[in-house]
Amino acid sequence: MKTFNPLNVSSKFAICGLPIRVDTYKNCSFGCKYCFANNRVICEYDKDFQVGNLKQIEHKLKTIFDEGKVDCKNFLDTLISQRITWHCGGMSDPFQPLEGRYHITKDMIDICNGYDISILFSTKSDTVYGANIDPKLHTFQLSVTNIENRIDLEPNVPDIQSRLKFYKDLKRAGFRVGIRIQPFIPNLATMEIVKMFVVVVYFCLVGLNVVRHNKEHKEYLINLLGLNREDFTQMGLLNLKPDIRLKYYEPFIHYFKEHNIPFSIADNDLHYIGTNSCCCGDRLVSKSTTFNNTAMIKRYGMDYTKEQLDKELMDSECCNCKCNQLFTSNRQEGCTTVQEFYDKRFDRKSSPFSPKFQYTNMNNNL
């Protein structure tokens, strides 16, 4: 069976407070039709099922915590040594059906528990397949798209009642649990989701991403969901235009505010909307970075300056870490370090972490 390096720093470190990403599988047996991770052209080179090489995680943790060896220019080493919470499930569900056979996630958790590693799990599952998960260390973000059991969109995802039971079981066991409405599909993502999971500690809304280079994927989704191509704009992937997304988000946002429910909008251009300094939810995270744009907006406001960002970078001890390997050659622009990355791109309106990238409509009351 093929293996891959399961532990990395995300190239989205400037817009996400949890840049440490761990995936235990490549490709996902839930088979969701809207999944951009499995439909990107960049992934076409290798569609084979793969499992994470856990020896690499074990070696990394032993080196940092047992031997006390931290490469100060290694971005991953620095973040791990600072005990930034890991995000598991960003590209492939850690508790997908194949976990019942291979137990890669279970084994990864056993390794991490020995070092008190805090992990946020994102999943659509209704079980953890016997994994030894500690509510003092770990939290859950349950991904819910609809409550109609749309097997044409999510052919292998457990039914909503099973996932509701799983949610209640987690709560009884003492876990902090959030709900991530991802992707938010107009007319499918309804307020009934909120009412079903109303006592969670956090909600997050994430817009639908469509892979523009994958014609089959793009046309299938747009036709199936009854959407219009002209309603989308290109932001790397195709996203519904922000004014359209905000129209659909508005009743949710007002409900969250009215009932004092913590929430975030994880769309890159709408990070200013919400109550959290981490787009994955402050109550679900033991420790997040402070140099991502959501944290900067919450701490300094929408017009945070480069000087303020530089201070956060300096305090984090990440400014001299190498990050060029996180980007393809045409996106490196001669930048090697994290500091150089920010220096080069901060003032660009096209940079998702720049304050100028945020979509603000003076006509909305959000």
Q: Which residues of the chain have pLDDT under 50?
A: 40-46, 362
pLDDT at 38: 59
Per-residue confidence (pLDDT) for residue 25, from 0 to 100: 96
- Which tokens hold the place of 230? 């002209």
pLDDT for residue 161: 97
Residue 227's closest CA among 209, 214, 213? 209
* Whether the Cβ atoms of residue 36 and residue 237 lie closer than 8 Å to each other: yes
The domain ranges of the chain are 3-289, 307-357
pLDDT in tens, 276-321: 999 899 999 999 999 999 999 999 999 999 999 999 999 999 999 9
Angular region, 98: left φ>0, alpha ψ -120 to 50, beta rest: alpha
Tally DSSP H helices, then E strands, for the chain.
12, 14
Q: If we measure between CA atoms, which residue out of 184, 174, 112, 111 comes closest to residue 143? A: 184
Written out in words, the top-level CATH class of the domain with range 3-289 is alpha beta
Q: For residue 142, count other CB atoms closer than 10 A to its CB.
A: 21
Tokens in use for 327? Answer: 């980007």
Query: Which residue in 54, 57, 53, 50 sits closest to 25, CA to CA?
Result: 50
Helices (H), the chain: 54-61, 75-81, 99-102, 104-113, 160-172, 191-196, 215-224, 242-258, 293-300, 306-316, 329-332, 338-345
